[in-house]
Structure 1
Amino acid sequence: MEIMYLMIGLSLFMAIGFVIAFVWSIKTGQQEDLITPAMRILQDDQKTNKL
């Protein structure tokens, strides 16, 4: 039964950590533009030097 208290405490600690990390990522702008980096791979590179 004592292991249950330990496991519940650890899971709450991890959940709070994930929530804090998520809120930090939202506040610092990490989640603002998720589509552009995925679409960038589909665009052709511009050729600058033609010899």
Structure 2
Amino acid sequence: MSVIYVLLTISVTVALFFFIAFIVSVRSGQYDDSYTPSVRMLFEDELVKKGDTSKEKRTKINPTK
């Protein structure tokens, strides 16, 4: 029965360690997305809706038409 208490104590300690490491990494900006904003402008023209057939939208996607 005492083994359960030891294992429970160790598992809670390890869980707290990983939780604190996660909080520290989030606060330091480890998970900030620095790649997507730099390429977003390359793919903005593809966000035009399919049902929109206005000349302004067509010329923005393909200026040769």
Instruction: With the length of structure 1 as denominator, give the TM-score of the two structures.
Output: 0.64
**Unpaired runs of 5+ in structure 2?**
36-65
| Greater C-alpha Rg | 2
- What amino acid does structure 2 have at the position aligned with 1:27? R
Following superposition, the deviation at residue 33 of structure 1 comes to 1.4
1:3-25 CA-to-partner distances (Å, cap 9, x unmatched) read 00000000000000010000000
Coordinate RMSD, CA, aligned = 1.3
Kindly indicate whether structure 1 or structure 2 has the higher relative contact order, using CA contacts under 8 Å at least 6 residues apart: 2
Alignment coverage as a number of residue pairs: 35
**Unpaired runs of 5+ in structure 1?**
37-51
Aligned-pair identity in percent equals 34
Instruction: With the length of structure 2 as denominator, give the TM-score of the two structures.
Output: 0.51
